[in-house]
Amino acid sequence: MSAIVFERVSRSFDGRRVVDDVSLELVEHRIGIVGANGSGKSTLARMINGLVEPDAGRVLVDGLDVAKQGREVRRRVGFVFTNADTQIVMPTVREDVAFTLRRHRLAPAEANERVDAALARFGLTELAERPAHRLSGGQKQLLALASVLVGHPAILVADEPTTLLDARNARRVARHLAGLDEQLVVVSHQLELLDDFDRVIVMEGGRVVCDDVPAVALPRYRELIDTEDEADDGVTDAAERTRP
């Protein structure tokens, strides 16, 4: 597996620190990141391939500094967003997968083989000539995975990849993610997706508040959100008593 290293990393937006002095070394196969809305999960994940740059500290992927060697890092790190529509760039499913390889300088036969293999891997072979934008949400997310992984990145970062999907499609995408050989960093609110992961990082207020195996980290996170819910209930009760 690769080593993803955060060295005392911070990042602010509009004067507010959303990632606050985080140091981590991620070397496991499957790593989950959880946390309440706004806790800094996506910002942390985006720093792995330079979509967001730190204002302090460094992020290294296999010793490459993301801020200085971004192009080399992006060859190793694939990224899948919550909304697969934002990643579809070509008219048909096959063309969209093939688009990734345009700069790989492969012989056409080899490129075709890679595209076929990626389509088959995600159950998209039958849909290859379909307009990509007309796929279902679940199929689009599988297409996003195929289009990223056809480039053979060592690491896949997925930011809430199942959030917009219905339960059946979410399970389907989760099953595919769980079976990947690539190193995986997944930001998710769907905690069952992370049950079998090797490591789960819990973020709160831009800091890592727990970093452990899922059996320890997920219950800790559930406790944390229960406490926050109780605090919110207090606010709601107060608001209900005072508003007309």
Ligand X SMILES: Nc1ncnc2c1ncn2[C@@H]1O[C@H](COP(=O)(O)OP(=O)(O)OP(=O)(O)O)[C@@H](O)[C@H]1O
Tell the smallest beta-carbon distance from residue 163 to ligand X (Å).
9
Tell the smallest beta-carbon distance from residue 207 to ligand X (Å).
12
If one asks whether residue 43 binds ligand X (CB under 6 A), the answer comes out as: yes
If one asks whether residue 49 binds ligand X (CB under 6 A), the answer comes out as: no
Tell the smallest beta-carbon distance from residue 220 to ligand X (Å).
16
If one asks whether residue 37 binds ligand X (CB under 6 A), the answer comes out as: yes
- DSSP string across the chain: ---EEEEEEEEEETTEEEEEEEEEEE-SSEEEEEESTTSSHHHHHHHTTTSS--SEEEEEETTEETTTSHHHHHHHEEEE-S-GGGG--SSBHHHHHHHGGGGS---HHHHHHHHHHHHHHTT-GGGTTSBGGGS-HHHHHHHHHHHHHTT--SEEEEESTTTTS-HHHHHHHHHHHHT-SSEEEEE-S-GGGGTT-SEEEEEETTEEEEEE-HHHHHHHHHHHHHHHHHHHHHHHHHHHHH--
If one asks whether residue 18 binds ligand X (CB under 6 A), the answer comes out as: yes
Tell the smallest beta-carbon distance from residue 18 to ligand X (Å).
4
Complex with ligand X: residue 24 or 154, whichever CB lies closer: 24
Tell the smallest beta-carbon distance from residue 68 to ligand X (Å).
21
Contacting range for ligand X; rule: CB under 6 A; set: 24-32, 37-45, 225-233, 235-243? 37-45
- Binds ligand X (CB under 6 A): choice among 30, 42, 100, 221: 42
Binding residues for ligand X, per CB under 6 A? 13-14, 18, 35, 37-43
